[in-house]
Amino acid sequence: MNIQNVTKKVVSSKIELMGPIKRMNRLISPLFQIGWFVESLMTQTLITPVIRTNKIPFLQSRAVWALTATTVSIMAFGVGPPYSPLASALGLTHLPRLYWPILMLTLHSYMGLTQIVKVWLLRRHWI
Distance CA 107, CA 44 (A): 10
In tens, the pLDDT along 2-33 reads: 666 655 555 555 655 666 666 555 546 778 88
Domain ranges of the chain: 3-122
- Comparison of pLDDT for 46 and 9, the residue scoring more: 46
In tens, the pLDDT along 67-86 reads: 889 989 999 988 988 888 88
Rounded to two decimals, the pTM is 0.70
The residues, any chain, with a CB within 8 Å of residue 56's CB and separated by 6 or more, are 115
Half-sphere exposure of 28 (CA within 13 A, CB side): 13
DSSP H helices in 55-98: 65-79, 87-90
